[in-house]
Structure 1
Amino acid sequence: MPIVIFLIVLFLIFLSTIRIVPEACAMVVERLGSFHSVWRPGVHILIPFMDRIAKRINLKEQVADFPPQPVITKDNVTMRIDSVVFFVITDPKLYAYGVENPIAAIENLTATTLRNIIGSMDLDTTLTSRDEINTQMRSLLDVATDPWGIKVNRVELKNILPPDAIREAMEKQMKAEREKRESITLAEAKKQSAVLTAEGNKQAAILNAEADKQKTILAAEAQKEKEIREAEGRAQAILDVQRAEAEGIRLLKEAGADDAVLRIRSLETFAKVSEGKATKIIIPSDIQNMAGLLNSLKESLVSPSTVHPTENGNEEA
């Protein structure tokens, strides 16, 4: 029975010596009061009464959010700035033995570094140089925390809080700047509108002139076509008359008309002429001996006419 109890005690002591280190963690082990080793993730055996775990360390990236710190700019403006530091522990031994309180040390180091950087800038530069300030702080903090086994990955400024009077002045300045941009935008819009209107009027005038020109050209072409068609009609009418006269002469010749018939047709023509408004008619001399025909001509005339011999052998009535 005592042997069983002894074995149970030994088993419990053995179980108490087994240590399991989880992932992304490390343990600093001391043996007899001095540093012995760093346990990484896995199963480890702790020697009773000789070894002890001095510190458990988280190897994940950690975030330290520090409260606002008062800083003074180069132009003597006091403001409050709060920052966030992202860091990771790279050497558990240095982290365990390098500094008593690493987070407090990083906070104080961040405050002093921030004051040094802001003290070399004026207010406007500070408000517009967040990236530059972040880069400088990360570089300086990384060098300072390297002996502590800490690597600073990023530093971000969360808020920059200038005094109330400065904020009010900045708000008024921003309002005035917005009103200025609004006025400039309205002026540019009016200018652009006037330019576009003038350009539209110009294009309309050009189009109207082109339309009037095209209309004039079309009217001239229409008048020209009209005159050409009228001239062609008159020429065709004259040609038809000439063809008709030629056809009449041809028919007379084919019919074998003698001189008496031709003279009668001539008198008929003179009778038609006398029906007009002419006051003088020239009669050929070879018709003056035809007394009977003259009587017929006198009957066809509206008023009596006197026949006078002309110098070339014809008679004038």
Structure 2
Amino acid sequence: MLTFNWIALIILIVFVVFLILNRGIAIISQNQVGMVSTLGKYSRKIEPGMHLVLPFITRVDRVDLAQVPLKLNEQSVISKDNAEVIISLSLNYHVTDPYKFTFENADSVQSMIQQSRAHLRGIIGTMELNEVLNGTERINAQLSKELGSITDSYGVNVDRINIDTIQPTPEIQESMNKQINATREREAAIAKAEGEARSIELTTKANNDALIATAEANAQAVKVAADAETYRITKENEILSQSSDQYLAAQSIEAFGKLANSQSNTVVIPTSVTDSLGSIKTLGAVLENKKEK
């Protein structure tokens, strides 16, 4: 029968064997590589799978090569015109050089984050607030370009960087709202003034057109009346020019007859008329009739 000491020895041996096997076998998952260091010095890189390594004197650092999403904390940034904005940034990166990522930087990811924040401050600092609020794509492109030449030394590559939100501080937002309201009121006043000016212009034009139309109508009426009068006079002259002396004398006799039948007791006849009428027999009858009355 085994004593307690033998049981303890067996357990110890099993534990040591397990520890040796655990330390001597390295299993690398897909999308990973293993960076093997022996006695603190890099020795080789191992691919996905199971590998035997020397226990206790060998260390295996597993590096994930898959793309990693990373969301940065909100950051306060000052624009060129001294406006403070809060920016939320996110990015995707993957490891391109496992050796640089593991051995040349104490924390490549943290270094990449610091560089992203620093370059973001530099870019925003050269832009006015309106440019910042409306220039998300421009900021993303410029930030990606500048990070591309720096993060290579960290053994990583930024595949995509995106500004999620750009939010002015409450004070800046309030100032912007006042400016927007003032702009709207000014535009409304200008539009109203332009509308009134246009209305006055149209009314004045309509009145002028009405006056011109009335004047033209009056002028046309006067012209028509003058033309009618001219036509009447012309026609009368033509008729008179075609009438005989006997017709004119008869017209004069008729006129003198009406005058003789009037209430007047005296009829004055010009000598030139009596001379022209002396040869007309009916004149005596007219005069005789006057005497009887």
TM range (shorter): 0.5 to 0.7
Q: Establish whether residue 83 from structure 1 lines up as the match of residue 116 from structure 2.
A: no
Aligned to 2:69: 63
Taking only the aligned residue pairs, the percentage that are identical comes to 29
The structure showing larger relative contact order (alpha-carbon pairs under 8 Å, at least 6 residues apart) is 2
Question: Mind listing any 5+ residue stretches in structure 2 that lack a counterpart?
Answer: 1-5, 192-293
2:44 partner SS: strand
* Partner AA of 1:61 in structure 2: Q
Q: Could you report, residue by residue, the CA deviation over 1:84-137 in whole angstroms, capped at 9, with x for unpaired residues?
A: 121101111110012112222122111110111011110001111101101111
CA–CA distance in 2 between the matches of 1:48 and 1:166? 61
Aligned to 2:140: 134
CA–CA distance in 2 between the matches of 1:77 and 1:38? 50
Contact 2:101 2:108 in 1 (8 A): yes
Structure 2 CA distance for partners of 1:78 and 1:138, relative to 1, 3 Å: same
Identify which of 32, 40, 47 aligns with 1:40. 47
1:147 partner SS: helix
* Partner AA of 1:84 in structure 2: S
CA–CA distance in 2 between the matches of 1:26 and 1:162? 44
* Partner AA of 2:86 in structure 1: R
Question: Mind listing any 5+ residue stretches in structure 1 that lack a counterpart?
Answer: 185-317
Structure 2 CA distance for partners of 1:24 and 1:165, relative to 1, 3 Å: same
* Partner AA of 2:140 in structure 1: N
Q: Establish whether residue 144 from structure 1 lines up as the match of residue 153 from structure 2.
A: no
Structure 2 CA distance for partners of 1:10 and 1:88, relative to 1, 3 Å: same
The CA RMSD over aligned residues, in Å, is 3.2
CA–CA distance in 2 between the matches of 1:152 and 1:94? 15
Task: Compute the displacement of 1:178 (Å).
Answer: 8.1
* Partner AA of 1:38 in structure 2: K
Tell me the TM-score normalized by structure 2: 0.54
2:70 partner SS: strand
Aligned to 2:35: 28
Task: Compute the displacement of 1:56 (Å).
Answer: 2.0
CA–CA distance in 2 between the matches of 1:104 and 1:124? 31
* Partner AA of 1:111 in structure 2: R
Misfit runs of 4+, over 3 Å:
7-16, 169-181
Q: Could you report, residue by residue, the CA deviation over 1:19-60 in whole angstroms, capped at 9, with x for unpaired residues?
A: 21111122211012100112221121111243221x222211
Structure having the higher Rg: 1
Aligned to 1:196: none
Contact 1:99 1:148 in 2 (8 A): yes
Structure 2 CA distance for partners of 1:44 and 1:165, relative to 1, 3 Å: same
Number of equivalent positions = 181
* Partner AA of 2:59 in structure 1: R
* Partner AA of 1:112 in structure 2: A
Tell me the TM-score normalized by structure 1: 0.50
Contact 2:78 2:125 in 1 (8 A): yes
Contact 2:108 2:155 in 1 (8 A): no
